[in-house]
Amino acid sequence: MQLSEYRNFDATGLAELVAKQEVTASELLDAALAGVAAVDGELNAVIATFEEEARRFIAQELSDGPFKGVPFLLKDLTAHYGGQPTGAGWPPRAAVRPAEDSELVRRFKKSGVVIFGKTSVPELAMDWTTRSRAHGVTNNPWDTTRTAGTSSGGTAAAVAAGVVPMGHGNDGGGSIRVPSSACGCFGLKPSRGRNPVAPSGSTWQGMLVEHVLSRSVRDSAGMLDATQGLHVGQFFNSPPGEGFASEVGRDPGKLRIGVSTKAPYGAATHPDCVTAIEETMKLLEGLGHICESHDIELPPDGWSAFETFILAEYATDMRLEEDVLGRKLTADDFPPMLWEMIDAGNGISAVDVNVATTRLHAVASAVTSTFNRYDVFLSPTLAQPPLAHDAFPQATSMREHYEFYLSWMPFTHIFNVNGSPAMSVPLVWNAEGLPIGVQFAAAPAAEGLLFRLASQLEMARPWEGKRPPISVA
């Protein structure tokens, strides 16, 4: 299969070709590897490939699932593939090779995908762009001088450039939706507990969720069918869904949609992001939906509570890493700002964490109450278009680090706090030719509604024909 042909299919389409015996899984793997060779020198998105293992898997373990034979990449964070490193962009972890697959990877394999490599992440996912001491900076295929987003930026760049039609990502504060917006992908963050969380079942108290970034809505829905469901290894489980792939193409009905461009906690929203919402509202109203201005009123101490909670969670993660590495961690193991965060987290008391969690319940209540009035909530995904690499400070204090967070990605984390599904949809490109994602959220466990709306938008304003300058074909 030529790269120009390979690039024209989403994962569902490639699986159909395999099922018809028009192409083999090995031929698709050849194409994906050729795609890595063609573009990754400019993107720096794929940090490792394991072709020999992928070919062994095709020969011995390939599952007859809905995505049989489709090449697939794992984000190099949390998703363990037995025998392959999970490095998290962090030099001390480079040699750590988990012995077994995590539950999510087992479910990916049962879907039929052929996992052949890992994608880049920020160091320990603690940066607002995808860069690390281990692997350097990942570039955006729409403009290589700009960020691919965080922290699934490697997957987003690879999917947008056509290396794979769909790849793994996870999202603890926006890390599926942010890079999807920056790279022009479709990215849905599922409800809390919908998918098994890897490797620990209670990561960030269920705020961190796992799924994929894709180019088509149907691929995201089909993979959620394949991976969702109860997992005995975690505290938080959503009720099983009813078949998300069947929601694609269904009429969502006449929706009442709350709309806001006001960023939580005071960040400015760039005019391009405001324009994207205005264009989206016109599209929605043309499809028969009702759009009303609505700003979610959040508790004033919600952001400080989120900071406290996350700092404590980072410190917890590093305490557990000491068990993996078999030694104590010190300041020498981290860039100065990351060590400041971890040190601060270690200084937070259990009582302070519980108080912060209580405050976050108030945030969750405010967010979830929105869906008593509206079916869906619309906002920008990001407060700014994809930023230039040099916009991200190389060395900063923890306080400046969090202030930058709010200036860049203030719209996403509230839906991790309340557990709602939320998606970034690539509907708008600005005058510079950069993608500007728009975010839709719905009530917890309402992924089906979002898939219906997303597929309606995909048909009304298709984005598949949008190809970045850096592309496999």
328, exposed or middle or buried, with CB in 10 Å at 0-12, 13-18, 19+?
exposed
**What is the mean pLDDT of the segment spanning 100-108?**
96
Give the model confidence (pLDDT) of 243-287 as tens digits: 999 999 999 999 999 999 999 998 999 999 999 999 999 999 999
Flag whether 39 is in a domain: yes
Give a yes or no: residue 470 inside a domain: no
**What is the pLDDT averaged over residues 351-370?**
97
Q: pLDDT tens for residues 87-97?
A: 999 999 998 99
Task: Label residues 168-179 b or e (16+ Cβ within 10 Å = b).
Answer: bbbbbbbbbbbb
- Residue 287 sits in which domain range? 3-460
Q: Place 386 in a pLDDT band, splitting at 50, 70 and 90.
A: very high
Catalytic (active site) residue 175: yes
**How many angstroms separate the CA atoms of 387 and 143, rounded?**
10
Q: Residue 201: pLDDT above 70?
A: no
**Minimal CA–CA distance to 155: which of 172, 179, 131?**
179
465 within some domain: no
Q: Closest Cα to residue 178, out of 364, 384, 370, 375?
A: 384
Reply yes or no on whether the pLDDT at 101 is more than 70.
yes
Residue 242 in this model has a pLDDT that exceeds 90: no
The whole-number pLDDT of residue 134 equals: 97
* Structural domains in the chain (count): 1
The dihedrals phi and psi of 351, each to the nearest 5 degrees, come to: -65, -45
Establish whether 75 is a catalytic residue.
yes
Tell me how far apart the alpha carbons of residues 364 and 359 are, in angstroms, rounded to a whole number. Answer: 9
Residue 266 has a pLDDT of: 87
Assess if residue 467 is contained within a domain: no
Q: Is residue 471 part of a domain?
A: no
Does residue 113 register a pLDDT over 90? Answer: yes
Closest CA to 421 of 193, 218, 227: 193
The answer to the question of residue 473 being in a domain is no
Q: What is the pLDDT of residue 200?
A: 67
Residue 202 has pLDDT above 80, yes or no: no
Distance CA 258, CA 272 (A): 20
Which one is catalytic: 120, 152, 175, 191? 175
Residue 251 lies in a domain: yes
Note whether residue 292 is domain-resident: yes
Determine whether 246 is an active site residue.
no
Q: Is the pLDDT of residue 190 over 90?
A: yes
What CATH code is carried by the domain that includes residue 176?
3.90.1300.10
Catalytic option among 68, 75, 109, 189: 75
Whole-structure pTM value: 0.98
Task: Out of 111, 120, 132, 151, pick the active-site residue.
Answer: 151
